[in-house]
Amino acid sequence: MKFKVNAIEFYEGINPALSVVPARTTLPVLTNFILDVKKEGISAYATDLEVSVMVKTHGEVEEEGKIGLPAKSFGEIMKNIDGDVEFELLESHLYCRYPRGRVSFPVIMPEDYPEAIIPSKEGGFEIERVTLAAMVEKTAFATASSERVARRAMVGVLFHIEDDTLKLVASDGTRLAFVSRKIEGGEPIKVIVPPQVLNFIKKMDDEKITVKIEEGRIGISGENMTVSARLIEEEYPDYEAVIPWDNDKILRIEKEKLVNVIKRVSIFATPQAKGIEFSLTPERMVVKAQSEMGEAEEEIEGEFDGTGIDVLFNYQMLLEIIRRIEDDRIEITLKEPASPTLIRGEGREDQFYLLMPLVGI
């Protein structure tokens, strides 16, 4: 094996694969990655047995070869070199020569590394990368943060395809996020995707990407990167059954005005519960908070339809939701102080959020 690359371009090309290599593992071989050097291009592959990433890059290849290399030390060297680097495999080490320096890395045989599990693009559906990345950004934050939750399904993001529509749903039991977009060619499915694989979408630079579900895995492919992961084999809760379309109290308000009020009033919320109270009537709408630091009360400008209600929210969760709504005006619909609250851009049904109020504090 003998080849030459620009260090910066090479590192940027292989880094998505290096990022999946586990820092700690009971299988030492997983601290490596596979480098496959061919005349037509260079590829790197890595896996932690849950998520697998394959990337393609380029270089001047004199002699082809395929080896395993220690990911951490190789990545650290590459990101700290400027200019061209020459590599040559001699017996059991890969030698790296760069301006004014040289390092070597021990290699492993590629047969000792887990086999690449990379789905083909055939049979999947295409979607604009920016569209799917935005859908993930608007939902994945609401997943449960620990696999120790009662239902492991809630650690992942639900991909639900029906009627040529892709729906993404995420929930941790306190909040729920939903977004949908039209697609072409997607077969009806309901699968749960681990959120870490979705983080790679923003690292792709393609206009369109392909998503394929097969044999208990999801594959997301662009021209130079393919990422694959095991699906979470659980049944997702019936999210459609809990959407409170019958909430009969409606607050309509400009988003930025509400955000600014929440930011001011929340300064006086208790650090533990982070609760702020909405006291809403058609005549007067107030947001307030009280703690040992003092108290705040501020009227909000908006429209409220329905009988009066006092309801308490975790202001951090509320802001997380509101900031993901792009509409200038939002509507918040309520029913009872302890019932799910529906939050969305005014009149929107393709993106909405549920938030459980705080009770008993």
Of 259, 249, 260, 331, whose CA–CA distance to 282 is shortest?
249
Alpha carbon 99 to its chain centroid, in Å, reads 39
In this predicted structure, the answer to whether residue 361 has a pLDDT above a threshold of 70 is no
pLDDT value for 343: 99
Q: What is the mean pLDDT of the chain?
A: 95
pLDDT value for 123: 76
* Token pair listed for 29: 């071989």
DSSP string, 183-246: -BSPPPEEEEE-HHHHTTGGG---SEEEEEEETTEEEEE-SSEEEEEE---SPPP-GGGG--TT
Is the CATH code 3.10.150.10 the one for domain 2-112? yes
pLDDT value for 58: 96
- What stretch of H or E contains 124? none
How far, in Å, CA of 293 to CA of 272, rounded? Answer: 13
Of 356, 310, 336, whose CA–CA distance to 246 is shortest?
336
Residues contacting 155, CB < 8 A, separation 6+: 143, 144, 146, 147, 149, 194, 195, 232
- Domain ranges in the chain are 2-112, 125-240, 243-355
- Rounded to 10°, the helix 71-78/7-18 angle is 150
Fold for 243-355, please state it. DNA Polymerase III; Chain A, domain 2 (3.10.150)
- Tens digit of pLDDT for each residue in 50-61? 999 999 999 999
- Tens digit of pLDDT for each residue in 74-113? 999 999 999 999 999 999 999 999 998 999 999 999 999 9
How far, in Å, CA of 64 to CA of 223, rounded? Answer: 22
How far, in Å, CA of 199 to CA of 140, rounded? Answer: 9
How far, in Å, CA of 76 to CA of 97, rounded? Answer: 15
Domain 125-240, architecture per CATH: Roll (3.10)
pLDDT value for 150: 64
- Tens digit of pLDDT for each residue in 107-136? 999 999 999 887 777 778 999 999 999 999
User: In the chain, pLDDT over 90 holds for what percent of residues?
Assistant: 91
Please answer whether residues 243 and 354 qualify as being in contact, where contact means their C-beta atoms are separated by less than 8 angstroms.
yes
- What is the C-alpha end-to-end distance of the chain, expressed in Å? 66
pLDDT value for 186: 79
Same fold, 125-240 and 243-355: yes
- Look up the pTM and report it: 0.92
- Tens digit of pLDDT for each residue in 318-347? 999 999 999 999 999 999 999 999 999 999
In this predicted structure, the answer to whether residue 148 has a pLDDT above a threshold of 70 is no
How big is the chain, counted in residues?
361
